[in-house]
Structure 1
Amino acid sequence: MSLSKLKVLVVGAGGVGTMASVALERSGMANVTLVLRSNYEKVAGDGFEIESVDHGKLSGWRPSQIINAVPEADTNDPFDFLVVSMKTVPEISNISKIIAQSITPGHTTIVLMQNGMYLEPPFIEAFPTNVVLSGASYIGAHERNAHIIHDDPDHFHIGAFHNPRLDVQHEKERLEAFTTAYNGSKAVNAVPVDDIMLYRWRKIIWNGTYNPICAITQLDNAAVRRCGGEYSLIRPAMAEMAAIAKADGYDLGENIVDEMVNKTPIELCFRPSMLVDIDKGNPVEVEVILGNALRIAREKGVQTPILDNTYRFLKLIQTRLLVARGHISEPMDVPRSDFI
């Protein structure tokens, strides 16, 4: 590891990845290389235009380096951390394969700043000698044509997803090194925790219900509630998700549904990220946000009729999006699921 600054690669330059790059760079403790795709030429020429609730207005901002493809690891100067902030859509990409050439075995710590449940096991399988950190983020940040609107503070819980091949103390040291650097700007709040799955389950109560139901209905969160969906769909779906979590060993408390329903006030007409993706015609994170939780439900014998049907409808929408984007040629090309 560098004695001066951490060497960090960020893969996924949407709102979350870009704001993570800002926090790390502004801490003075890290040099960030950010991988850009469609907006590479724009950022190379003009930089990012950022309006941030945490960092203020940044015009023409760039990290230490921008590149347009995932790089090969330098054996003499490896990446200390690799932050993954891509959306997880296994129907079109295998993230472990995408980042593999940037990973130095036994050295590079992988940081998953993504939505969903049980994202971590495939990375531990692919990189058995590397620490995997996992973050449950509550940031509100959206990117369009290199313009970032960051309107909800950068706050998240982060912890090591334990790899039984690795020493727990080593995982804790990597967690401390990352959170210290991330929090160095004093403008953000990365909170290290011992058991990250507790916080992922808490987040999925909201994210696994509002997100897909808003996507299917094309209604924002407030409209779903005003149209009667709160008691017919949202609350029962959240209760099912809480039951899955409890069966998985995480009792989130008897008031968790009330807490999560009211987390986004009805006065705030909020369009969740999955609905925004559908607005853009982009495939959505069906499997990690909903499918993985339902697989736990089947394993534990938990009945989830609302979530099962939500998943089925969302898979139909996903098929349409995949065909429209040219990822598949026929609907029958989509792998069948246990829940369809």
Structure 2
Amino acid sequence: MSAPSPQILTVGSGAVGSLYSWRLASSAAVTVVCRSSYDIVTKQGFTMTTQKFGDATFHPDHVAKSVEEAVGLNNGRPFDFILVTLKALPLEYDVSKMIEPAVTRGKTTIVLIQNGLGIEEPIVQRFPDNPLISCAAYVKPGHIKMVIPNEHLVVGLYKPSKVDSSQQRQVFVDLLEKGNVDVDLTDDIEQLRWQKLFWNASYSSVCTILQTDTTGSKLAKNTLVNVIRDVARAANANGYEFDEQEQVDLMIGMTEGKAEGYKPSMLLDYERKQPMEVEVILGTALRRAKEKGVAVPYLETAYDLCTALNALNLRSKM
């Protein structure tokens, strides 16, 4: 008798969630929580258009409007993995509380595929005995219909976790690779998250404040440089060893070489009048710098301005 398929719950039905749910479904049973898109996905599935994997219509095993409904649809079977692909918006909702009905204590592995720094902390606090895998995705998706030339997922461990999740990580990686996902491993996901912040904290904030793409952000190059330097100082105060000038040269060179005319997701959220990921891209790094007594004035200014823009933008939507 063959082993039962791993049971996976995906919370977040946007482009990243639907992409990785589709790939995992080749060797696992997948339930997807959809809120606004529930009726469409129930009737039509997800329309996937990718250069790497081809085109397909993906129908999950179950589609639910809420985590509670997903638990009921799974007929008492515990979930082996919960995949969280929601935007990281701690001021809008608590992911740990949201997924709690589907978590079997000590068994369910929680997988985070989200942007930003510090996203793991609420999960570890609420579920200290559960395995935790934290991932960084490198894709450029649209909405449900995607044209993706490539994708790349870094699957990492979160060092402050009390649970050794290496075994569960290998199981998850095996499932991804069966779906032809490109996977790299890291044993310190926070180091990678700091690395991603050099670009996200600088270009995302400057582009959003100026309401321009990466080409227009050159008009504020000094601010870009100083935010990158501030993030490096914050990271190094928290145990890392990033070279400030090296990161400045790397981020600016990479952007000018490969990302001219690009709009960061923070700016796109602002234009759509959606909540922006200010806290996890700017706020956590700022707080960690202050905890270590490190002055980061440019990062603090970027945080203050983006926080204000976010509040004003959401208020205008009401």
Measured after TM superposition, the shift of residue 14 of structure 1 is: 1.0
Pairing 1:323–2:318 present: no
Measured after TM superposition, the shift of residue 68 of structure 1 is: 1.6
Assess if the C-alpha contact under 8 Å between 1:9 and 1:33 holds in 2: yes
Pairing 1:213–2:206 present: yes
Measured after TM superposition, the shift of residue 148 of structure 1 is: 2.2
**How is 1:297-308 mapped onto 2 (pairs within 5 angstroms)?**
297-308=289-300
Assess if the C-alpha contact under 8 Å between 2:45 and 2:60 holds in 1: no
Pairing 1:72–2:63 present: no
Q: Distance in 2 between matches of 1:294 and 1:315?
A: 13
**How is 1:284-295 mapped onto 2 (pairs within 5 angstroms)?**
284-295=276-287
Moved more, 190-199 or 63-72: 63-72
Pairing 1:197–2:155 present: no
Instruction: Identify which of 34, 37, 45 aligns with 1:36.
Output: 34
Corresponding residue of 2:55: 57
Paired amino acid for 1:135: C
Measured after TM superposition, the shift of residue 265 of structure 1 is: 3.5
Paired amino acid for 1:318: N
- CA distance 1:93–1:24, shift in 2 (3 Å): same
Corresponding residue of 2:306: 314
What are structure 1's unaligned runs of at least 5 residues?
A: 327-340
Q: Distance in 1 between matches of 2:234 and 2:78?
A: 40
Assess if the C-alpha contact under 8 Å between 1:15 and 1:150 holds in 2: no
TM-score (norm: length of structure 1): 0.86
Measured after TM superposition, the shift of residue 76 of structure 1 is: 4.4
Instruction: Identify which of 241, 250, 266 aligns with 1:274.
Output: 266
Q: Deviations over 1:104-146 (max 9, x none)?
A: 1111110110011011111011111111111122111121xxx
Pairing 1:252–2:242 present: yes
Pairing 1:240–2:239 present: no
Q: Distance in 1 between matches of 2:10 and 2:313?
A: 27
Measured after TM superposition, the shift of residue 319 of structure 1 is: 1.1
**How is 1:5-16 mapped onto 2 (pairs within 5 angstroms)?**
5-16=5-16
Instruction: Identify which of 253, 260, 283 aligns with 1:262.
Output: 253
Q: Deviations over 1:46-99 (max 9, x none)?
A: 2222221321222x3222222221133768410000011111222221111111
Assess if the C-alpha contact under 8 Å between 2:140 and 2:148 holds in 1: yes
Aligned residue pairs total 312
Q: Secondary structure in 1 aligned to 2:240?
A: coil
Instruction: Identify which of 137, 149, 153 aligns with 1:156.
Output: 153
| Percent identity of paired positions between Structure 1 and Structure 2 | 32
Measured after TM superposition, the shift of residue 315 of structure 1 is: 1.0
Moved more, 67-76 or 254-263: 67-76
Q: Distance in 2 between matches of 1:179 and 1:5?
A: 15
Q: Distance in 1 between matches of 2:120 and 2:232?
A: 21
Pairing 1:19–2:9 present: no
Assess if the C-alpha contact under 8 Å between 2:273 and 2:314 holds in 1: no
Corresponding residue of 1:338: none
Paired amino acid for 2:233: A
Q: Distance in 2 between matches of 1:199 and 1:140?
A: 18
Paired amino acid for 1:245: A
Q: Deviations over 1:175-216 (max 9, x none)?
A: 111111112122x21212111111111111111111122112
Corresponding residue of 1:86: 86
Q: Secondary structure in 2 aligned to 1:83?
A: strand
Corresponding residue of 1:336: none
Q: Distance in 2 between matches of 1:53 and 1:117?
A: 30
Paired amino acid for 1:133: I
